[in-house]
Structure 1
């Protein structure tokens, strides 16, 4: 059993990550900006805490005495590049202070490559507004890559589609590298529940390190 701190626990991905971790017997600190608005997260094995993923001191305080961290936080009310770069830097600094050595972040499939050096968000016809958001994720990834840190981080990026929030957990997924995964036999839309399985698997048995890694069916 581990103690896992999950940032952005109030969102779809974060809630599924909390549920998956607790179901496996881990203790979870679910970090949200406003705990009063997320009282439903509280339950056996879960403590809800206030925190801002862009502030290193706050990250360090809430992550103290934990074994690993998951970041599912997102902000739509601030420029994506500013948010994801600040979050990456604050997480690495704060987790270092708290002596938390493993960090798994949820990426976005539009940053995955469709050809060498060509991310999905640079393909013809990709919407400009969505591209700006995706570029923020890319900037956050570069902040991770360029940092001198002892934190063993990993960005897991699901397919570049809207994930299924209601599908039941299958426990099945596959991983690749920084490219969009080729179509497999399973034609269903990848779910948040199975993304959560992959996230917690990488906490329990780390297989990928300091990389952008595709995950999906």
Structure 2
């Protein structure tokens, strides 16, 4: 059944793929970016391209009104990672509640997944400090979501801690696990943004995981 999905961060690689996957399944999508003039190629049948700020609850509430679900694929490199992701988490919790949206699926990052109890990928010796700081922003976002007293059914989907393939075609196949890094499957080589988008829209159409961090991989 088709519905209305608002995608924050629609101009990035994950966001673009999510928009395309949703439209391909017959959903109507509101694609939210900071400057629509930069992303005019996103416009098309089934897509409304709008300006918005995922760190402002008022903006989230206004743009999400009338939608069935939301995806957050937004990221920023021009401000501290923790500041951005914490602000976005609070704004989404508040704004989506005001708008009456009950389902939120967020794009996570593989470096927050655990390799041992209490040990994330970004805790490994020698992990690049700049990348660790960015990853800790995602961890802080997750802490806000977990601590929230909310009716919002949220989910963070984290792909493997590798560079995702933006060129590989959609296969429609993927595996999910829990908060730990998924072991490599036989014959699997990397993971694509296209199949990450499949997992995102699947979790909106037929939610299987709730209020948790979930690994997704090929």
- Give the alignment's TM-score, normalised by structure 2: 0.99
Aligned to 1:170: 171
Partners of 2:187 and 2:152 lie apart in 1 by 34
Partners of 1:70 and 1:116 lie apart in 2 by 29
Partners of 2:45 and 2:183 lie apart in 1 by 39
Partners of 1:128 and 1:28 lie apart in 2 by 36
| Aligned residues: CA RMSD | 0.5
Please report how far the alpha carbon of residue 185 of structure 1 lies from its aligned counterpart in structure 2 after TM superposition: 1.4
Please report how far the alpha carbon of residue 177 of structure 1 lies from its aligned counterpart in structure 2 after TM superposition: 0.1
Aligned to 2:206: 205
Please report how far the alpha carbon of residue 69 of structure 1 lies from its aligned counterpart in structure 2 after TM superposition: 0.2
Partners of 1:148 and 1:55 lie apart in 2 by 19
Aligned to 1:40: 41
Please report how far the alpha carbon of residue 187 of structure 1 lies from its aligned counterpart in structure 2 after TM superposition: 2.5
Does residue 124 (structure 1) correspond to residue 106 (structure 2)? The answer is no
* Correspondence list, 1:1-217, <5 A: 1-217=2-218
Q: Which runs of 4+ in 1 moved over 3 A?
A: none
For residues 141-169 of structure 1, the C-alpha deviation after alignment (integer angstroms, 9 at most, x for no partner) is 00000011110000000000000000000
Partners of 1:19 and 1:185 lie apart in 2 by 29
Name structure 1 gaps, 5 residues minimum.
none
Name structure 2 gaps, 5 residues minimum.
none
For residues 3-53 of structure 1, the C-alpha deviation after alignment (integer angstroms, 9 at most, x for no partner) is 000000000000000000000000000000001111110100000011000
Partners of 2:189 and 2:6 lie apart in 1 by 30
Please report how far the alpha carbon of residue 88 of structure 1 lies from its aligned counterpart in structure 2 after TM superposition: 0.4
Partners of 1:121 and 1:152 lie apart in 2 by 27
Partners of 2:120 and 2:211 lie apart in 1 by 18
- Give the alignment's TM-score, normalised by structure 1: 0.99
Please report how far the alpha carbon of residue 186 of structure 1 lies from its aligned counterpart in structure 2 after TM superposition: 3.1
For residues 45-103 of structure 1, the C-alpha deviation after alignment (integer angstroms, 9 at most, x for no partner) is 00001100000000000000000000000000000000000000100100000000000
Partners of 1:17 and 1:188 lie apart in 2 by 21
Please report how far the alpha carbon of residue 125 of structure 1 lies from its aligned counterpart in structure 2 after TM superposition: 1.3
